[in-house]
Structure 1
Amino acid sequence: MRSKLIHKSLIVIAAILFLFIVFASFRFVSNVPNPNPKDFTHTSLIYRALKQAKSLEVECEQQYQLTAVVINWKRLSSVQLAVQRYLNATHFRRIIVWNNNPTINLTHKQILPQNQSFDLIRIINSKKNLKDEAKYRACAEAETLACFYVDDDWDISHYMNTLIASFRSDPNVLHSVTNYVTYYNNMLWTFMDSRIELHVGFSWIGCGSVFLREHARRHLQLLEVNLENNSDLFAFSDLFFSIWLNDIPSQMVVNLLSLPATVNETNVSFSSTSNFYSSQHKSSVLAIRKLEAALRLNQPTMNITFPRKQNRRFSYCTKSPSPKDDFTFYSNVLPIDIEHIPFDIKVDSDRGTYRYVPNGPNYTHFIEYNTLKAVDNDEKHVGDHLDL
């Protein structure tokens, strides 16, 4: 049954890709400049890539088994829902619950009813709130080679399968999801310099992400070495993680849905804490400065080095899952030519901050015409040059 579904999904993807190329070749909005011919890939190459992806997914399903990471702070009901969701799914070999709340000692009985087995669940009670760092600490403890993470307030039911499938097609890069506004913003926060092998992009991981355990472990080592005098920024680990991978994350554009909040539970957000935004800005600037300097000097620091080589299998693309989470729509036409964005560390070190946000006609065009709207089942978008 599973193989039939995979085969059906691949056929659908192939058909969509073919139709998209036809549409993209002949039907452009008048105010959009003509695309570079290199943006379009011959359909035979697409079918070949799909065949390779199918074979690789089967191999990666066995090799890269998943551990689901759940972080508890003060929303125990959300943790209970997340654990139940992962137990009901077939994707996860283990579940690690990291308790960031040192005022309680979290137990299995608090998470699951007594009639359910706790065999798959490991609880780690932290002595203090590690904030973002906890995600990577938990993943570093995994028995599997890869980890799945999402913040406890997001509904992932409509993209969990395709996110995991995306990872299995190219497991050496970070895979994540976001909405189309943040996706475009992340494209702006791209840094390229071929002279020093810099090729990096930014992504948040909280809306849903899959990444390798070895990347989490290396990240923790890099934090220790590079933030020795800024240990307070460990709490902002997410701002360093994707940058220090020195690769472009594979991001899906999705419709983000929040889970309903529980009335009796209060949860003070991290962003409401003192000096949050100044520390966030400092972290974003420091992340690219540390990476650029290390690559330019080409000197390892205490045997912990930033990666120089890209290990991705496929070129950069934009993609979105179907509303039923049963296929993925791909486009190899990016909204921004990220490989030719000028970069000079002397003037661009703060480009990956909220001082630089999307605007202009290209941004407006992407908001109106993007991969998510091609598969959103909204009849209002029929005939918009993307909808199928």
Structure 2
Amino acid sequence: MLNAKQNSTNVPNKSMSGNARYNYGHYINIGFSDFEFVQSKKREIELEQKYDLSAVLLHWQRSASVVKAVNYLLESNLFKEIIIWNNNPNINLGKTIFEKNNHSLDSIRIINSKENLKDEAKYRACAQAKTIACFYSDDDWDTSFPLKSLIADFRTDPYVLHSVTDPYTFYTNLMWTYFDNEINLHTGFSWIGCGSIFLREYAQRHLQYLQIYLKDHRNLIYLSDVFFSIWLNDIPSQFNMNIRHLPASSTDASFSSILKFLQYQHESSILAIRILEDNLRQNQSNDTNHIGFSRRKNRHFPYCIKSSNPKDEFIFYTNILRIDTERIPFNISKDFEQGTRHNLPTESKLSFFSSHTTLKAVDDDLKTCWRSGRNVRQGEFFAIDFLYIQTNLSFSLTIGHTWELQKNVDMNLSFDGLWWITYRALKGITIKSQNSTSNEQLHVIVFNSTQFNAGFHSFRFIAFNASRVSPLGEFQVCDIKIITKSPITTL
């Protein structure tokens, strides 16, 4: 007989049983207990309270854009405070520019800098936050639409950097990863300006790193974003999204347009990995003032590609990547330019990814589908994170792959994405076929957890796992829609 403790696993790509199928209607399938539900809900609330957030914005010349960004942040009601660091010493920024806003301005804190610190200012602002984590975005990006998803994702795995980027940059960042198991090197690059969340202690530590490791390269401190993600020595968790500019952001020059920016970026990219690699290769210093780089991975989850839907209701994600990042060879003596613009994706490599990326599963368009691009391998999965534990949820999943393949995957449910139980019954699951506009057959699967077996009415994560080697083709997910969901509940 199954129970949660005997048949749980910390990643969704392991089978709960060697024989799990959809046709298990006659099996006894015990789900989560009431105690496990209550404890998981308490844990969810504790994480929300512990990881309260401060929002950080930089101001230079685009005052109208900053006002627009602040309005979005205030309307979201997701932040304990909003810190605006004014990098322009010629402007004394005050709250008067926000007075047309209908929200209280009490949560806004403005820091007027005596000099333009460029990128470094982001980390100085976060270091002064009242909360233990910060949300940051540049003043020219609209980050309103993935906010809830990004925050929910961060709270499940708070010890890694979480960020948002576009498909081209996401693919590039896959190429800009570094692994060397001999020295515990496992890092990757991510810009943070399109929306990101990280711990305040990481910002504080980064400021120390800059003073220690760039004391002979003061001109590169201004580009400290290039160093930040690399020096965390942990692959960032990145959302693959269609990012968009704020309407008021088109005026005034950006930081990246300054003279020698590309040259400085190139130098910084090389120096960042060289400093990290050298530090990890050396024995740790006994000097108590020495601040070394972390050698251990802090992430709780395997690296995945993720996209949230336009309504910011859920996250679709998969561990099937177009590049096996851990198998990219790296030798510092000859691969030091791996994370520079000398190593950008070719159109041939990028084409399939762009056409069939995870965004295509959540774009409300049945003509477009996320595709894995090859036969599914054992241990691979696609999954949905509904952002918080939900009860009596109903949603539909439209797939383009064969029904034979779908019958050969395990359907696993979880409260936290770490411990999973396989749902073996057909109760609450209905399937119908329909033709797409391209005359390809699609299968629409409706999941109504109200009708699921006892113990399965509540969950946050659902994963579809290829637990066996299958020659049955590739995964294709064309649409996901929430039909009904429960309101957020408190205990």
Deviation track 1:146-194 (CA, whole Å, cap 9, x = no partner) reads: 0001111112222111011110110000000111111010000000001
- Paired with 2:83 and 2:12, the residues of 1 have a C-alpha distance of 42
Distance 1:240 1:54, change over 3 A: farther
Q: Which residue of 1 aligns with 2:157?
A: 170
Q: Which residue of 2 aligns with 1:104?
A: 91
Partner-residue secondary structure (3-state), 2:244:
coil
Aligned AA (1:178): T
> Alignment partner for residue 386 of structure 1, among 474, 477, 486?
477
Partner-residue secondary structure (3-state), 1:335:
coil
- Asked if the contact 1:67/1:142 (under 8 Å) is kept, the reply is yes
Q: Which residue of 2 aligns with 1:117?
A: 104
1:231 is the counterpart of 2:203:
no
- Paired with 1:85 and 1:283, the residues of 2 have a C-alpha distance of 33
- Asked if the contact 2:68/2:248 (under 8 Å) is kept, the reply is no
- Paired with 2:314 and 2:45, the residues of 1 have a C-alpha distance of 16
Distance 1:233 1:55, change over 3 A: farther
> Alignment partner for residue 175 of structure 2, among 188, 193, 200?
188
Q: Which residue of 2 aligns with 1:34?
A: none
> Alignment partner for residue 140 of structure 2, among 125, 140, 153?
153
- Asked if the contact 2:226/2:268 (under 8 Å) is kept, the reply is yes
Distance 1:364 1:116, change over 3 A: closer
The alignment of Structure 1 onto Structure 2 pairs a total of residues equal to 346
> Alignment partner for residue 264 of structure 2, among 246, 258, 279?
279
1:206 is the counterpart of 2:193:
yes
Aligned AA (1:278): Q
- Paired with 2:42 and 2:103, the residues of 1 have a C-alpha distance of 35
- Paired with 1:381 and 1:187, the residues of 2 have a C-alpha distance of 23
Deviation track 1:81-113 (CA, whole Å, cap 9, x = no partner) reads: 222222222210011010011001111122334
- Paired with 1:344 and 1:174, the residues of 2 have a C-alpha distance of 25
Q: Which residue of 2 aligns with 1:253?
A: 240
Deviation track 1:360-381 (CA, whole Å, cap 9, x = no partner) reads: 6543221222111111112321
> For the aligned residues, what is the CA RMSD?
2.4
1:75 is the counterpart of 2:59:
no
- Asked if the contact 1:53/1:169 (under 8 Å) is kept, the reply is no
Deviation track 1:340-365 (CA, whole Å, cap 9, x = no partner) reads: 11110001111100000012654322
Aligned AA (2:216): N
- Asked if the contact 1:369/1:386 (under 8 Å) is kept, the reply is no
- Paired with 1:255 and 1:381, the residues of 2 have a C-alpha distance of 15
Aligned AA (1:173): V
Q: How does 1:331-346 map to 2 (within 5 A)?
A: 331-346=318-333
Aligned AA (2:274): R
- Asked if the contact 1:175/1:250 (under 8 Å) is kept, the reply is yes
Aligned AA (1:295): L
1:270 is the counterpart of 2:265:
no
Q: Which residue of 2 aligns with 1:293?
A: 278
- Asked if the contact 1:184/1:363 (under 8 Å) is kept, the reply is yes
Aligned AA (2:275): K
Q: How does 1:317-332 map to 2 (within 5 A)?
A: 317-332=304-319
Deviation track 1:32-86 (CA, whole Å, cap 9, x = no partner) reads: xxxxxxx9814659x99xx898765432211111000011111111111222222
- Asked if the contact 1:93/1:120 (under 8 Å) is kept, the reply is yes
Distance 1:53 1:91, change over 3 A: farther
Partner-residue secondary structure (3-state), 1:380:
coil
Distance 1:108 1:134, change over 3 A: same
- Asked if the contact 2:69/2:142 (under 8 Å) is kept, the reply is no
- Paired with 1:268 and 1:288, the residues of 2 have a C-alpha distance of 29
Partner-residue secondary structure (3-state), 1:346:
coil
- Paired with 1:151 and 1:261, the residues of 2 have a C-alpha distance of 13
> Alignment partner for residue 138 of structure 1, among 96, 119, 125?
125
- Asked if the contact 1:294/1:306 (under 8 Å) is kept, the reply is yes
- Asked if the contact 2:176/2:189 (under 8 Å) is kept, the reply is yes
1:372 is the counterpart of 2:359:
yes
- Paired with 1:196 and 1:213, the residues of 2 have a C-alpha distance of 26
- Paired with 1:90 and 1:352, the residues of 2 have a C-alpha distance of 37
- Asked if the contact 2:71/2:101 (under 8 Å) is kept, the reply is no
- Asked if the contact 2:168/2:354 (under 8 Å) is kept, the reply is yes
Partner-residue secondary structure (3-state), 2:333:
helix
Partner-residue secondary structure (3-state), 1:283:
helix
- Max Rg structure: 2
- Paired with 1:348 and 1:55, the residues of 2 have a C-alpha distance of 47
- Paired with 1:261 and 1:230, the residues of 2 have a C-alpha distance of 34
> Alignment partner for residue 88 of structure 1, among 75, 88, 93?
75
- Paired with 2:146 and 2:101, the residues of 1 have a C-alpha distance of 30
Q: Scaled by the length of structure 2, what TM-score is found?
A: 0.67
Partner-residue secondary structure (3-state), 1:354:
coil
- Paired with 1:87 and 1:270, the residues of 2 have a C-alpha distance of 26
1:41 is the counterpart of 2:13:
yes
Partner-residue secondary structure (3-state), 1:62:
helix
Aligned AA (1:260): P
- Asked if the contact 1:132/1:236 (under 8 Å) is kept, the reply is yes
Partner-residue secondary structure (3-state), 2:477:
coil
What percent of counterpart residues are identical? 53
What is the CA distance between 1:211 and its match in structure 2?
Answer: 0.4
- Paired with 1:370 and 1:116, the residues of 2 have a C-alpha distance of 38
What is the CA distance between 1:305 and its match in structure 2?
Answer: 1.3
